[in-house]
Structure 1
Amino acid sequence: MTFSKTLKLSNGVEMPIFGLGTWQSGREEVINAVRTAVLDGYRLIDTATCYQNEDAIGEALQQLFKEGVIKREEIFITTKCWTTHLSPEDQEEGLRESLERLKLDYVDLWLAHMPGAFNKDMSEQRKNVTVEDVWKVRI
């Protein structure tokens, strides 16, 4: 059974309302969870840079694509930009790194994980970067 109920985002994109969250999932656990969820009809997978499992999710997705279970355009992938890449000059790098780990050309939804930007080693909040600065970036 496919969980086909969706909601329409403001840009017209249809997003499934049921999805698999992957927080605190280790490598083998998340590979199995993604495979099982997709085989059971889930069409939304949610992850984040800080979950440290994007690479395993990418591996599971590539297996599913190769096996012909689903096509890329049939699954909605959400990931999140971590605070170390929220400043406008770092967002594209953060997105490219997530795409590389996920082994994808695009994600369907990319969110700011938290409202505050931090420097690369997380030792200091970048108070000169406002929430408005974070949301203005177009990649």
Structure 2
Amino acid sequence: MKTHRVPLNDGTTIPQLGFGVLFVPDGETEDVVGTALDVGYRHIDTAQLYHNEAGVGRALARSGLPREELYVTTKLHNGYHEPARATASLSESLDRLGLDHVDLFLIHWPLPTLYNGD
């Protein structure tokens, strides 16, 4: 499967089709993501809230695919929006994923009332 890539404003591209792992238990994530990579997916979408970043990381490592062929998205848990907590939280995600960077790190959903509208 060759996935079309969509250009982004910063000059990078994102695979148009991604594989999300919401509701995939961590113990099954390595095999599920491994199968997705085997059939051609190159964009994997996870989140801290899904509690399966470690399984995604194991699948990525096991795949043997070059990092530049992969696009990894994860999302910041909602209790960590403040800058220092977000930075530490990203570092923890990178450790679980076994990566030195993710391609896209999103706020899972904004909660401005939780942080005085900031």
- For Structure 1 versus Structure 2, the TM-score category normalised by the shorter chain is over 0.9
What count of residue pairs does the alignment treat as equivalent? 118
1:1-139 → structure 2 map (5 Å cutoff): 1-3=1-3, 5-65=4-64, 70-116=65-111, 126-130=114-118
Structure 2 unaligned regions, length at least 5? none
In the alignment, the residues of structure 2 paired with residue 31 and residue 54 of structure 1 have an alpha-carbon distance, to the nearest angstrom, of: 10
Amino acid of the residue matched to residue 73 of structure 1? Answer: E
TM-superposed deviation, 1:73: 1.0
CA-based RMSD of the aligned residues comes to 1.4
TM (norm. structure 1) is 0.79
Larger RCO: 1 or 2 (CA < 8 Å, sep 6+): 2
- Inter-partner Cα distance in structure 1 for 2:27 and 2:83: 34
Q: Is the 8 A contact 1:79 1:110 kept in 2?
A: yes
Q: What per-residue deviation string (whole Å, max 9, x for no partner) do you get for residues 83-125 of structure 1?
A: 11111221110110100000000000000001016xxxxxxx6
* The structure with more helix, counted as a fraction of residues: 2
Asked if the contact 1:2/1:43 (under 8 Å) is kept, the reply is no
Quote the Cα distance in structure 2 between the aligned partners of 1:127 and 1:93: 17
Tell me if the contact between 2:7 and 2:14 (Cα under 8 Å) persists in the aligned partners: yes
Which structure is larger by alpha-carbon Rg, 1 or 2? 1
Alpha-carbon distance between aligned partners in 1 of 2:27 and 2:38, rounded to the nearest angstrom: 16
Structure 1 alignment gaps of length 5 or more:
118-124, 131-139
Asked if the contact 2:26–2:53 (Cα under 8 Å) also holds between the matched residues in 1, the reply is: no
TM-score (norm 2): 0.93
